Structure 1
Amino acid sequence: MILSPSTSGGYSLINNTMPEGGEPVVIKVEDLTTQSLIKFTRLQWWVFVVVNIVFLIVGQAAAVLLGRFYYDQGGNSKWMATLVQTAAFPILYVPLFLFPSHREPSSSSPSPSFLALFSVYFFLGVLLAGDNMLYSTGLLYLSASTYSLICASQLAFNSVFSYFINSQKFTSLILNSVVILSLSAALIAVNDDSEGPSGLSKLKYMIGFISTFGASAIYSLLLCLMQLSFQKVLKKETFAVVLEMQIYTSLVATCIALIGLFASGEWRSLHGEMEGFHKGRVSYVMTLVWTAVTWQVCSVGVVGLIFVVSSLFSNVISTLSLAVTPIASVIIFHDSMNGAKIIAMLLAFWGFASYIYQNYLDDSKARKALSDIKETRNDPTGQ
């Protein structure tokens, strides 16, 4: 795995075993121990990262657009909007069966106990449910511009949490990426020409503002805790662990959302909501179904990037999606594309490129170190 102190914090790269005649593998080790957590060739790592970036950007952009469509066309249930963010988790069993879990026999650490796994999944699932509910409330009560502007604060929250929880180290390129992406998202937000909810009271505005701000903080905390769980508790070596994390945390979040839907009494209004949906009943059902599916696609990308890179990188790509969403709006809803949005998207791609370049530098440094180790071990005079 292409990780270094500048991107993962507290981790080093070392290689103690090289396959004969094959590609060198990079092993992530904690505190220079010999405990292997995951192995990837260079090509495999980049393919895995690119696939998860696509999942995150496409999934999040589509989910946000569908969520806005749900509210604009007459949807009003916060608990339903919360439920669909995790309800489609059973579809993840398909790739889970295609990528079964496999553990290296040389692992020096025992497998986590059932109680430890249950505690991790339950706690993260509760956080996820609360985060989804806060985002749903914010999207209902705030205009798109204010909502996006507040969501951009998640990078700042993540920088703080990752520093204390994941020992994140920051280089000038990473700081440049965080600042540029935050400015890009803010520029898009303040120039968003969509209209906000009409007749909104000051109390509801404050509820939406606080909910979205709190959701951004909880989301950043959730990413950091997921990264910590991968490193300290799960310690598995395949993509199956990513799917298991998403499945079980989504299961907990879905159960909580269902309880909230029935306890609040909102379930009684769902039939009337469907009948009064501006685009019709079929459109109402398909909107909820595809919102649920796209949120799962997005979530796999989020957790996958935490698994192979870091929580900060995952958050950077999530923020990049705030710049991609207006492009989709232009194509799908024929929104206007003004100069400010174009500049903001260019800034976002600049910040994204900065972070990717930092990972490239870390990769090159790690490969050179491994090459030096191999040459030293193969040099008879060095023995």
Structure 2
Amino acid sequence: MSEWVYKHNEENLLESVTAVSNSSGENKRAAILMERIAAMEIQSTNKLISHHHSAPPPPTISRRAKLLLTILNCLLVSIGDCSGPIFLRIYYLHGGRRIWLTCFLETAGFPLLLIPLSISYLHRRRSNPSAPLHHLTPRLFLASSVLGVITGLDDFLYCYGLNFLPVSTSSVLVASQLAFTAIFAFLIVRQKFTPFSVNAVALLTIGAVILALHSSGDRPAGVTVAGYWKGFVFTIGAAALCGLFWPLVELTYDKLAGRAAVTYTLVMEMQLVIGFFATGFCAVGMIVNKDFQAIQREAAEYGLGETKYYLVIIAASLFWQCFFLGAIGVIFCVNSLLSGIIIAVFIPVIEVLAFIFLHENFSSEKGVALLLSLWGLASYSYGEYREAREKKKELQRAPALSTV
């Protein structure tokens, strides 16, 4: 309606200008009318621009809510990181031999995400009846599917290694993913290196080398030297692939989802797709290896009994889902390096749990490697603390400079 009125007024003004310009001695009035037309055009353009920018901005999260969300995700990572490996090792210790099944369990809990996603959708529909079913764009879906395949491959490497290594050794080796995360974060998302992060990388590498040089007394019963070294190499490979995965997730947030608001709902949708494709990747391995047909027989022969067999694999699936959701949530709230730090910080807890529940030996070499890992973690954490403090000082200094 406003556009019709504007066009109608403009036509009347143009007719007036034509009539006035034909009259002698009224050129000044014609010029005034032309100025009025120009002013109307500017006013109409400004209205269109203001209408375009008056659309509601994407929802933002408050600082307090983000802090609470960060704490929640850190708890999820800690629960999954400490419990997932223990239950997988329990599966192996009492007669479980299906590596592809354990890979499958690491991401098979992804359908549980449909519960919070459904609640989020119903909440959006209540406030906006035309709310979309999901926030995933085709590019985000494709990126999440690729990340899912990478996750499936990483699960296979980790589970294969855990079949031959004690949990305490495997956890120290997995701690080297912090070094790989730092390197890949520098290459992919341009994360800055500091003397503290370089020191952390060096210490974690030395810890892994110490375990490699003193591996003779660490082999579980029934594991050959060749099998132990296979597990060692595969676990390091899993740590490297894990170190690549977290910066890729951060890159996906920054690049593909950068134009839209990255909400926690979007994070869960991405994890749902990642879990689906990772589980599908492992399911193909199970089909080829005929693991589905062997589950019932393996459960009947399991050392702890058939009921506890199913309880162990269900618990492992739930705890690993907590781990993955919490890890990508930490990346959403902060960055990929913090996710790597949290994974590494619970190494002592895993060592203690393995000693208590699995009765694993805690050799002096493991103690030295553990201390080096904690030293590297402390070095890296202190470097992050100093950098955050310097950024805070710069932000406080900026308003003072602007008032000068």
What is the TM-score when the length of structure 2 is the normalising length?
0.71
Corresponding residue for residue 287 of structure 1: 312
- Select between 115-124 and 319-328 the one with higher mean Cα deviation: 319-328
- Select between 235-244 and 298-307 the one with higher mean Cα deviation: 235-244
**One-letter amino acid of the counterpart of residue 149, structure 2:** V
Match of 1:175 among 170, 195, 198: 198
Match of 1:367 among 379, 388, 392: 392
**Does the 8 Å CA contact 1:191/1:341 hold for their aligned counterparts?**
no
Report whether the alignment pairs 1:322 with 2:323.
no
**One-letter amino acid of the counterpart of residue 298, structure 2:** E
Shift of 1:335: 4.8
Report whether the alignment pairs 1:83 with 2:99.
no
**Does the 8 Å CA contact 1:154/1:315 hold for their aligned counterparts?**
yes
CA pair 376-349 structure 1, distance change in 2 beyond 3 A: same
Report whether the alignment pairs 1:200 with 2:224.
yes
**Does the 8 Å CA contact 2:148/2:275 hold for their aligned counterparts?**
yes
Report whether the alignment pairs 1:141 with 2:164.
yes
Corresponding residue for residue 309 of structure 1: 334
Larger Rg over CA atoms: 2
Match of 2:287 among 232, 245, 262: 262
SS at match of 2:234: helix
Shift of 1:308: 2.6
Shift of 1:239: 2.1
Q: Deviations over 1:329-382 (max 9, x none)?
A: 2443455666666666555444444434333333333333333444556x4xx5
Where does structure 1 lack aligned partners over 5 or more consecutive residues? 1-34, 103-110
**Does the 8 Å CA contact 1:56/1:297 hold for their aligned counterparts?**
yes
**One-letter amino acid of the counterpart of residue 328, structure 1:** L
Counterpart-to-counterpart distance in 2, 1:326 and 1:252? 31
Shift of 1:264: 2.1
Corresponding residue for residue 216 of structure 1: 239
Shift of 1:156: 3.2
**Does the 8 Å CA contact 1:112/1:233 hold for their aligned counterparts?**
no
**Does the 8 Å CA contact 2:82/2:346 hold for their aligned counterparts?**
yes
Corresponding residue for residue 38 of structure 2: none
Matches within 5 A, 1:1-383: 40-41=62-63, 43-97=64-118, 114-144=137-167, 147-148=170-171, 150-182=173-205, 195-198=219-222, 200=224, 202=226, 204-205=227-228, 207-235=230-258, 236-333=261-358, 335=360, 348-375=373-400, 379=403, 382=404
**Does the 8 Å CA contact 1:66/1:287 hold for their aligned counterparts?**
yes
- Select between 284-293 and 306-315 the one with higher mean Cα deviation: 306-315
Shift of 1:99: 5.5
CA pair 141-338 structure 1, distance change in 2 beyond 3 A: closer
**One-letter amino acid of the counterpart of residue 76, structure 2:** F
Shift of 1:149: 5.3
CA pair 253-344 structure 1, distance change in 2 beyond 3 A: same
**Does the 8 Å CA contact 1:63/1:291 hold for their aligned counterparts?**
yes
Q: Deviations over 1:288-330 (max 9, x none)?
A: 0010011011112221222233223322322223332012224
**Does the 8 Å CA contact 2:172/2:373 hold for their aligned counterparts?**
no
CA RMSD of aligned residues (A): 3.4
CA pair 344-205 structure 1, distance change in 2 beyond 3 A: closer
**Does the 8 Å CA contact 1:227/1:311 hold for their aligned counterparts?**
yes
Q: Deviations over 1:244-286 (max 9, x none)?
A: 2221100111122222212321222111100011000111001
Corresponding residue for residue 28 of structure 1: none
Where does structure 2 lack aligned partners over 5 or more consecutive residues? 1-56, 125-133
What is the TM-score when the length of structure 1 is the normalising length?
0.75
**Does the 8 Å CA contact 1:78/1:133 hold for their aligned counterparts?**
yes
Counterpart-to-counterpart distance in 1, 2:67 and 2:374? 18
Counterpart-to-counterpart distance in 2, 1:353 and 1:297? 25
CA pair 335-147 structure 1, distance change in 2 beyond 3 A: closer
Amino-acid identity (%): 28
